Amino acid sequence: MKQNKKLINLVKKLNENQIKINYYGTNSPDKLKKLFAVGVEFPLVDKVAEMMEVAKEHGIHPAKPEY
C-alpha cells in the first residue's frame, strides 16, 4: 500500500509538470489496470495481445497504420 501511494504521488507530480510517463514493464492485467488508473500513459509489455484487452477497457484501441 505504501509503495502504491508513492507511485500515485510520483505520477501526479510528473503529470503536473507535463511529463509523459513510460513504465517498464508488466504483463499482469491487474497491475496494468492500476498503472492506467494512476495516470501512467505508456506501459511497456511483452504480452501485447493479452494487455490490449485491458487497454480497450480504458478506451485505448490499436492504431491502424496508414501508408
Residue 1 is predicted with a pLDDT of: 47
Residue 6: CB atoms within 10 A of its CB come to: 10
CA nearest to 38, candidates 19, 67, 10: 10
**Angle, CA 58 vertex, CA 48 and CA 38 arms, to 5°:** 95
**Helix residue ranges per DSSP H, 1-67:** 2-16, 29-38, 48-57
- Predicted TM-score (pTM) of the model is 0.75
Question: What pLDDT, in 10s, does the model give residues 2-19?
Answer: 668 888 999 999 999 999
CB of 25 closer than 8 Å to CB of 46: yes
pLDDT in tens, 32-63: 998 988 888 889 999 988 899 999 998 988 88
